[in-house]
């Protein structure tokens, strides 16, 4: 009897050990829309490295690049349902599920990396994170800074809004961006990111906009020639985690996830500041792209977009006061 009892105790003890080992280890899948060398990839790698170091390798992350796990917008739904653990994606692809983050992509609001960092890492970022948990079922744990989305096309130099007319420009499926191009007088073609390269290659569309770092990492220079460095949208790409997954973690583990996210955010800020100038040089000197400056310091582009798009989206961002607050933080209160 004593022998059987100790066997049972050993078994139960073994089961407990096994159970806690299982609960205290995992491999998470992270989706990324972009390729090797992109700012998304930098953030993904940094988060993975920090998480694995802080948990002595018990928690691991596997990165799936180039939209292997689906379009960026699909990954938000998948993470909300708990069928995907993490995703790093452009903010414009989060907005359809969490409209208030649109305040960060209203045209001509953010005007530098410093402004992007100040907003996302401060009170505004915290509020938008809470809203995204509520509205989209995912939590933002890090911010990728990718730079201004510049306009590229394969057909002609574009400097004025007149030059833009007649071009077929792909935009993400994002109402703010669609409305911005409409304010400039053209009807853009909304399309998933995962289909964009092929559409440019097959000349289904003539142009698109994305930051220099993305254009370079995704090799868009092989299918695009002219760059117009407009500054209507500073690209920010949140790293999100499934809220279901986050809530299943212990408080200690949640803190580790957030700390790994903070490291990834700082790394991203430095990565952009350190690499953008060299990438612009490479694109223009070695990869055949040509920069055409927007006419008159972009005056008309700015006027048209801000006048038409801001008021139209006050409601979706949670009220005009949300934009006013952001502009005040940036030291540019609305007149």
Residues that bind ligand MLT in the complex, under the rule CB under 6 A: 33-34, 72, 89-90, 92-93, 172, 193, 210, 214
Looking at the Cβ atoms of 220 and 226, the one nearer to ligand MLT is: 220
List Cβ neighbours of 298 (8 Å cut-off, separation of 6 or more).
230, 231
Looking at the Cβ atoms of 92 and 189, the one nearer to ligand MLT is: 92
Torsion of CA 122, 74, 30, 266, to 10 degrees: -20
E strand spans, 86-204: 86-88, 138-153, 169-171, 189-190
Cβ distance 235 to 43 under 8 Å? no
Count of beta carbons in the 10 Å neighbourhood of residue 187: 10
Euclidean distance between CA atoms 147 and 321, whole angstroms: 26
- Closest contact distance (angstroms) between CB of 15 and ligand MLT is 44
Looking at the Cβ atoms of 89 and 253, the one nearer to ligand MLT is: 89
Euclidean distance between CA atoms 220 and 224, whole angstroms: 6
Looking at the Cβ atoms of 173 and 182, the one nearer to ligand MLT is: 173
- Closest contact distance (angstroms) between CB of 215 and ligand MLT is 9
- Closest contact distance (angstroms) between CB of 199 and ligand MLT is 12
Looking at the Cβ atoms of 59 and 193, the one nearer to ligand MLT is: 193
List Cβ neighbours of 1 (8 Å cut-off, separation of 6 or more).
none
**Could you identify the residue written with the tokens 């995962």?**
194
- Closest contact distance (angstroms) between CB of 321 and ligand MLT is 28
Backbone angles phi, psi at 56, to 5 degrees: 50, 40
Looking at the Cβ atoms of 140 and 256, the one nearer to ligand MLT is: 140
189-190 and 290-291 beta bridge pairing: unpaired
The two structure tokens encoding residue 173 = 């499926």
Q: Where is 210: in which H helix or E strand?
A: strand 207-211
Please classify residue 218 by burial: count the beta carbons closer than 10 Å to its beta carbon, then call 0-12 exposed, 13-18 middle and 19+ buried: buried
- Closest contact distance (angstroms) between CB of 167 and ligand MLT is 16
Looking at the Cβ atoms of 177 and 256, the one nearer to ligand MLT is: 177
Comparing CA positions, the residue from 84, 102, 85 lying closest to residue 93 is 102
Looking at the Cβ atoms of 93 and 180, the one nearer to ligand MLT is: 93
- Closest contact distance (angstroms) between CB of 72 and ligand MLT is 6
- Closest contact distance (angstroms) between CB of 39 and ligand MLT is 8
Looking at the Cβ atoms of 92 and 275, the one nearer to ligand MLT is: 92
Q: How far is CA 93 from the centre of its chain?
A: 7
- Closest contact distance (angstroms) between CB of 333 and ligand MLT is 29
Count of beta carbons in the 10 Å neighbourhood of residue 55: 18
- Closest contact distance (angstroms) between CB of 210 and ligand MLT is 5
């Amino acid at each position: 009897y004593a022998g059987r009892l100790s066997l049972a105790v050993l078994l139960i003890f073994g089961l407990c050990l096994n159970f806690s080992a299982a609960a205290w280890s995992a491999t998470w899948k992270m989706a990324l829309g972009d390729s090797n060398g992109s700012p998304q990839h930098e953030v993904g790698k940094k988060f993975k490295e920090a998480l694995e170091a802080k948990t002595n390798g018990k928690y691991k992350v596997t990165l799936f690049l180039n939209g292997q796990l689906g379009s960026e917008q699909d990954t938000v739904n998948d993470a909300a349902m708990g069928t995907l653990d993490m995703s790093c994606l452009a903010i414009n692809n989060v907005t359809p599920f969490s409209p208030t983050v649109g305040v960060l992509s209203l045209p001509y609001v953010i005007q530098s990396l410093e402004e992007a960092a100040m907003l996302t890492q401060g009170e505004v970022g915290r509020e938008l994170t809470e809203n995204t948990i509520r509205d989209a079922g995912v939590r933002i744990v890090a911010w990728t800074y990718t730079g201004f989305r510049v306009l590229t096309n394969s057909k002609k130099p574009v400097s004025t809004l007149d030059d833009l007319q007649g071009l077929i420009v792909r935009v993400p499926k994002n109402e703010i961006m669609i409305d911005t191009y409409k304010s400039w007088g053209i009807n853009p073609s909304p399309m998933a990111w995962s289909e964009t390269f092929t559409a440019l290659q097959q000349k289904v569309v003539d142009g698109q906009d994305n930051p220099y770092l993305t254009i370079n990492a995704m090799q868009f220079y092989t299918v695009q020639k002219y760059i117009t460095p407009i500054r209507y949208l500073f690209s920010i790409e949140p790293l999100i985690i499934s809220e279901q997954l986050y809530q299943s973690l212990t408080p200690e583990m949640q803190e580790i996830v957030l700390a790994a996210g903070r490291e990834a955010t700082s790394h991203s800020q430095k990565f952009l500041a350190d690499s953008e100038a060299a990438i612009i040089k490479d694109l223009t000197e070695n990869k055949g792209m040509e920069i055409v400056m927007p006419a008159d310091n972009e005056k008309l582009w700015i006027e048209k977009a801000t006048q038409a798009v801001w008021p139209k989206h006050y409601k979706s961002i949670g009220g005009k006061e949300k934009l006013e607050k952001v502009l005040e933080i940036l030291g540019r209160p609305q007149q």
